[in-house]
Amino acid sequence: MSGESGHRVLDHLGLQAREYDRVIRTYIPAYDDMVATVVRWLDGHLPAGGLVVDLGTGTGALSVAILDALPQARVQLVDIDPEMLEVARGRVGHQASRAELRLAAFADPLSPCDAVVASLALHHVASLGEKRALYRRIHDALRPGGVLLVADVAVHEEGPERHRIFAEWSASMQTHGITAAEAEVHFAQWAGEDRYFPLVAELGALAAAGFPRPECFWRHGPSTVFGGFRD
């Protein structure tokens, strides 16, 4: 969950970068299943030596999962936070020959690639218009047959659907020792920087960006994996 400013991990989540992997599992329901879903959809799809761009890589948890599971894959880890990239560098050391670290923002040009993935990063894109533009840049960077897989939170901005998802999200956090009151404080803090869009809006943005068949690949409460293939 890294984003567009170097202080985001420290200030936004109140964590040191090396604490992230432990704590994120207390915040995000079914986090490991979400990561596994991304890896599963890449498996069997990438060409030999295919390049995966991991946007907002953070500590590199998703990249490491991809490198470990898919021995033919190469991964470019992209983040604007130098501290997080240093943590990621240490994590991918055993796979250094297939990993490249790049200090860059979401708005920077993307490398031509066979897949783009993002885990808990793109909710830092503040507007749907900016997100459509990002999805268009991703679409254009993908080689024919390439895939975008976004693992993130998707929720309506109002209504009973939103209230139920946040209630279940709080309940999940409480199983890790976070009280309901503390969960509400976290939600309020994150709302200052995170922007969650409903899944239908995300899929619409993907369609507008040129993805012909936007799809939800997995969902558990607020945790969602969605994306699409480029023809």
Is the pLDDT higher at 4 or at 33? 33
- Name residue 52's beta-bridge partners: 75, 115
Burial of 93 (0-12, 13-18, 19+ CB in 10 A): exposed
Q: Residue 22: which residues within 8 A CB-CB, separation 6 or more?
A: none
State residue 17's pLDDT score.
Answer: 57
- Name residue 218's beta-bridge partners: 225
- Cβ(113)–Cβ(186) below 8 Å: no
Residue with tokens 């209504």: 159
- Cβ(211)–Cβ(148) below 8 Å: yes
pLDDT, one tens digit per residue, over 198-217 is 999 999 999 999 999 999 99
Residue 119: band (very low, low, confident or very high) from pLDDT cuts 50, 70, 90? very high
Average pLDDT, the chain: 93
Give the global pTM: 0.93
In the chain the domains, ranked by start, together with CATH numbers, are 8-229 (3.40.50.150)
Compute CA distances 48 → 73, 87, 125, 226, whole Å: 7, 27, 32, 24
pLDDT, one tens digit per residue, over 56-97 is 999 999 999 999 999 999 999 999 999 889 999 999 998 999
Token reading at 29: 């329901």
Express as a percent the part of the chain with pLDDT over 90. 88
